[in-house]
Amino acid sequence: MDVVRQEGKTVEDAVEQALQKLNITRDEAEIKVIDEGSKGIFGLIGGKNAVVEVKPKVNPASIALDFLEDVLEKIPVATRVEVIEEKTDYDQVYLNISGDNLGIIIGYRGETLDALQYLTSLVVNRELKKYTRVLLDAEGYRERRKKTLERLANKLARKAIRVGRKVVLEPMPPHERRIIHMTLKDSEQVYTYSEGQEPYRRVLIAPRMEKDNG
């Protein structure tokens, strides 16, 4: 990362010169005052310049874009990555991958997309001083998957009620398990809970009468 160490008659003067060299605004900069300087005697004798260090703020969206574009260049599919949302306080970045034949990017039930999201999150947070949540989508896959899981939750809830015993779902990542839990959280007939260790942790849907009888 570019860091400019700059002297000036005042701190403000030094900062302005450094910003010009970096071609960034004050809002885009991290500024560290090394020496506030001094005017000396009568403002003439023994004066000392102010010294500052200025560098661009780490931009999580740029880090994520650079990493994803580098990875996707190695995959034989034409893709484009864009930032859909970036919170102003840098606590969340939401990106979308678009292109043709995105199945290879999404993978089986989103496994490849989840892996890319995880790796991108690692890269971004390695560069930052506070946690930033990275969300990665591929032309609406997340929403389609969410609706599929909601339908599955309701279908298996009806089965649990019909057969009178719990139904065990296949292992899912945490964010997908949460969709199942949230879909059924207000149900008066079934309840949900999770069992097992990652990556084999799974959701169970059980009729409430089973819980009451227990």
Note the pLDDT tens digit of each residue in 15-24. Answer: 898 888 888 8
Mean pLDDT (whole number) for 155-163:
96
**Nearest-CA neighbor of 166 among 178, 157, 175?**
157
**Could you tell me the pLDDT band of residue 71, with boundaries at 50, 70 and 90?**
very high
- In the chain the domains, ranked by start, together with CATH numbers, are 4-56 (3.30.30), 60-139 (3.30.300.20), 143-213 (3.30.1370.50)
- From the number of C-beta atoms within 10 Å of its C-beta (0-12, 13-18, 19+), residue 126 rates as exposed
The Cα 113–Cα 111 span in angstroms is: 5
pLDDT at 80 over 60: yes
pLDDT recorded at residue 130: 76
What's the burial of 124, exposed, middle or buried (CB within 10 Å: 0-12/13-18/19+)? buried
Confidence band for 61, pLDDT divided at 50, 70 and 90: confident
pLDDT, tens only, 30-54: 889 888 777 755 555 556 888 889 8
Lowest-confidence segment of 9-13, 87-91, 114-118 by average pLDDT:
87-91
Residue 120 has pLDDT above 90, yes or no: yes
Find the range with the poorest average confidence among 8-12, 140-144, 203-207: 8-12
Q: Give me the chain's average pLDDT, please.
A: 87
Sign for the CA dihedral angle at 180, 181, 184, 188 comes to positive
Whole-angstrom Cα distance, residue 104 to residue 72? 11
